[in-house]
Structure 1
Amino acid sequence: MRLTSFTDYGLRMLMRMGSAPERAFSTAELAEEFNLSRNHLTKIMQRLARAGLVQTRRGGGGGAILAVAPEEIRLGDVVRMLEDGQALVECFGSGGGECTIDGRCRLKSRLRVAEMAFIDNLNRSTIADVALARTHA
């Protein structure tokens, strides 16, 4: 299984924010830290905000701060939310794709179970469990 870079960076951002949950992080700061375009990071941050995981504030002293305690943010739930619309295989996508063996396939149900097990396993951990170690300047 492979996660999109969107999800990868979304998890990294939450991990970083989870290391200092009381602190606001600017998009410029996170973009520099992860060597990511600010535009791409902003899209990810907007998705996290729509999901209610972060709050964003504009202006001086603004930035993004966790809206939920890191101990309450389950990794599998984050992956499921950020991967929404990204089918594991073509036949899981909307419309079912162009599969010529649909209806006779014995793989599809096994892949669904594996995908659920993946999310369930990730949900055993929270952002607090994987938050980046605090660095001292």
Structure 2
Amino acid sequence: MLSQTVEYALRAVVWLAAHEDGQTTHAIADGTKVPASYLSKVLQGLQRADLVLSRRGVGGGFVLARSPRTIRVLDVVQAVDPLVRIRTCPLGNPAHGTGLCPLHRRLDDAIASVERAFGSTTIDELTGSKVNDRALCPAGSLPTT
């Protein structure tokens, strides 16, 4: 349901929440297992949304623009790949008028539920076990099926 861009953005923001000093793109990429070239684009989107800051010079790098207690997961999602609510029939069926058919009503309800969940979850809540200098999901920590 969520794009790879959103996944990468959330990994980067969680990493930055656990590292108050400036983090280079390569350090974030190594710690989050995100390709550095793709991560650069993701960080630009987060910077445009005023979620991260870029500092130049010694000790520079990327940092969160504000406390992880005030950044919601929804803020990150909307910055890089916004959730889109269904307001009118995607099929353009004039019989639906301004309402939605049962299918599209349910789909929109699901999107609304995701918005509520992400809007009530802060980045700080996602760093409960503190990331420190290890990868977010170290090799061997994921279940195999």
- The question of a shared fold, defined as TM-score above 0.5 by the shorter chain, is answered with yes
The correspondence of residues 108-119 of structure 1 with structure 2, limited to 5 A, is 108-119=104-115
Deviation of the 1:76 alpha carbon:
2.0
Deviation of the 1:102 alpha carbon:
6.8
Distance 1:103 1:45, change over 3 A: farther
Q: Which runs of 4+ in 1 moved over 3 A?
A: 99-105, 134-137
The 8 Å contact of residues 15 and 32 in structure 2, kept in 1 or not, is answered as no
1:124 matched to 2:123? The reply is no
Deviation of the 1:101 alpha carbon:
5.3
**Please, what TM-score do these two structures have when normalized by structure 2?**
0.75
**Please, what TM-score do these two structures have when normalized by structure 1?**
0.79
Between the aligned partners of 2:60 and 2:109, the Cα distance in structure 1 is: 42
Between the aligned partners of 2:74 and 2:84, the Cα distance in structure 1 is: 16
Deviation of the 1:16 alpha carbon:
0.9
1:106 matched to 2:102? The reply is yes
The 8 Å contact of residues 80 and 119 in structure 1, kept in 2 or not, is answered as no
Distance 1:112 1:81, change over 3 A: farther
Between the aligned partners of 1:102 and 1:35, the Cα distance in structure 2 is: 47
C-alpha offsets along residues 52-111 of structure 1, whole Å, 9 cap, x if unaligned?
010012343221011111000011232233222x758xxx5xxx76x3757443211221
Distance 1:122 1:102, change over 3 A: farther
Between the aligned partners of 2:42 and 2:133, the Cα distance in structure 1 is: 27
Aligned match of 2:12: 13
- Mean Cα deviation higher: 114-123 or 44-53: 114-123
Unaligned runs of 5+ in 2: 135-145
- Mean Cα deviation higher: 108-117 or 5-14: 108-117
Q: Percent identity?
A: 28
Between the aligned partners of 1:55 and 1:48, the Cα distance in structure 2 is: 9
CA RMSD in angstroms, aligned pairs only: 2.7
Between the aligned partners of 2:58 and 2:114, the Cα distance in structure 1 is: 40
Distance 1:69 1:115, change over 3 A: same
Unaligned runs of 5+ in 1: none
Between the aligned partners of 1:80 and 1:103, the Cα distance in structure 2 is: 32
1:82 matched to 2:43? The reply is no
What is the SS of the residue equivalent to 2:102?
Answer: coil
